[in-house]
Structure 1
């Protein structure tokens, strides 16, 4: 199905955009980078009565550190995140995830707000936001509310965002000096591939050999939404993260995930790859920690 003529408005301010969202009674969709929207329209989906093109709202494209964390504007592109010295220093897991989003053209156009709004369980930046305790700021003409990311998604393509709201900020916890992170992804090909399985890991090391003081693990594309691997997280501090300890932790991953079979992979394959990706990610993190 080809994309035919569509109705689109390009508001000049965020206030104008929120007013339209509040007053327009029929279905409205926000358009930022358009990397998902064009594909969905060609497939016959996402055919709202009105598109709101917010790409020109430059005030929503930023990365800065405030007292309550690192603030990222929803129109911040994946390339912006990869190139950010602040994120490289204090949110390396998000940088690693942004690097894995499609090819260069997709990273240049696609936005973090679009990734959240699409709400795909395979979204590459979302597991990284989970382990960084992200908070999603939603704005409307009635005010602002902030939602922890684990409460934001309710199913594939579904969030708690109301029709009259738009994402205006993403706030993440900066990693500490003894904290390291990584993102691992399995796709059918190297670039421009939707994840078959992905995982984000963030570890706080105790500074005493391979002993972990705490950590967070989030899997994508293995359940209706991104999930935290809490059983695996508990084991992180109960043993040294040597090869044997890492193998023990990774072997528990199959109990955490609840994948489906689809055209890209079977449920059994996704379970096996969840274990493999977690083990590979932990081994790579320990190598990096050892080399510090």
Structure 2
């Protein structure tokens, strides 16, 4: 299929875009940065008759603090996230994850909303959104609704977005002064690679040395969707996060994941590496906390 055979619409507002999505007789798909969409199209997947290009809707690109959390527009790019002081200091795991997305060109074009809508189990920003208690705001002509991140994904490439809806906001909960977070990724090479395994960690620290009083851990690329590691989380509060304790927590990670084998890695390798990158992340977090 040639590009000339496709219709392209470029709305200037959310309301105009939603009016197009109301047309149920039309084969429509939204496109923003296109970093995932174009790849799928070249593979013969997801080729609608009409593209709705939302890249020009300026009201969907923002990062701002409000009373209920940090609000991020779906057209916010990965580069925007990296450069934002709000994200750097109050959502470190998301800043780390955005930095791990592809090369500079991909980070400049790819958007947070696009990462969510693509719903890849290996999406780098998604585990970070899990540990930051993200809520996804969906809007249609009829109104808005909010979906917690853990209810948003149904499976690979499947989300809670209805045909007449679009993502208009992502709300995350900022780190408190006693919290620290991080994102870790294992890929087949140092850069521009899809994750073999990734993990985001958010810890709440106590007053004693390496005392953890709570935390969240989310793994990507080890199940049909990103998963929370509840068994590992329960161990965070057992004793100070010494090297021995971190090693023990890493050993439990294999019980949390349910990976598959594919061209990038075997299920067994992913299971082993889940524990390894969790350990590495916890070690780095302790250094980050002690050097704050």
Which TM-score band (shorter chain)?
Answer: over 0.9
Alignment of 1:94-173 (within 5 A): 94-173=94-173
Name 1:184's counterpart in structure 2.
Answer: 184
- For each residue in 1:122-147, what CA deviation from the matched residue of structure 2 results, as whole angstroms up to 9, or x when unmatched? 00000000000000000000000000
Query: For the Cα contact (< 8 Å) 1:3–1:41, is it kept in 2?
Result: no
For the residues of structure 2 that align with 1:199 and 1:44, how far apart are their CA atoms?
31
For the residues of structure 2 that align with 1:146 and 1:163, how far apart are their CA atoms?
16
For the residues of structure 1 that align with 2:201 and 2:4, how far apart are their CA atoms?
42
Answering whether residue 14 of structure 2 is matched by residue 14 of structure 1, we say: yes
Q: Gaps spanning 5+ residues in structure 1: where?
A: none
Name 1:55's counterpart in structure 2.
Answer: 55
Alignment of 1:123-272 (within 5 A): 123-272=123-272
Structure-2 change in CA distance of 1:269 and 1:4 (3 Å): farther
Answering whether residue 278 of structure 2 is matched by residue 278 of structure 1, we say: yes
For the residues of structure 2 that align with 1:3 and 1:248, how far apart are their CA atoms?
53
1:2 Cα deviation (Å)? Answer: 7.0
TM-score w.r.t. the length of structure 2 is 0.98
Q: Gaps spanning 5+ residues in structure 2: where?
A: none
TM-score w.r.t. the length of structure 1 is 0.98
For the residues of structure 1 that align with 2:167 and 2:208, how far apart are their CA atoms?
41
For the residues of structure 1 that align with 2:34 and 2:171, how far apart are their CA atoms?
23
1:27 Cα deviation (Å)? Answer: 2.8
1:26 Cα deviation (Å)? Answer: 3.1
For the residues of structure 2 that align with 1:4 and 1:252, how far apart are their CA atoms?
53
Query: For the Cα contact (< 8 Å) 1:3–1:42, is it kept in 2?
Result: no
1:150 Cα deviation (Å)? Answer: 0.0
1:168 Cα deviation (Å)? Answer: 0.1
Query: For the Cα contact (< 8 Å) 1:136–1:169, is it kept in 2?
Result: yes
For the residues of structure 2 that align with 1:27 and 1:120, how far apart are their CA atoms?
22
For the residues of structure 2 that align with 1:4 and 1:227, how far apart are their CA atoms?
41
Query: For the Cα contact (< 8 Å) 1:126–1:226, is it kept in 2?
Result: yes
For the residues of structure 1 that align with 2:132 and 2:161, how far apart are their CA atoms?
20
Structure-2 change in CA distance of 1:188 and 1:263 (3 Å): same
- Comparing 75-84 with 7-16, greater Cα deviation is found at 7-16
Q: Partner of 2:5: helix, strand, or coil?
A: coil
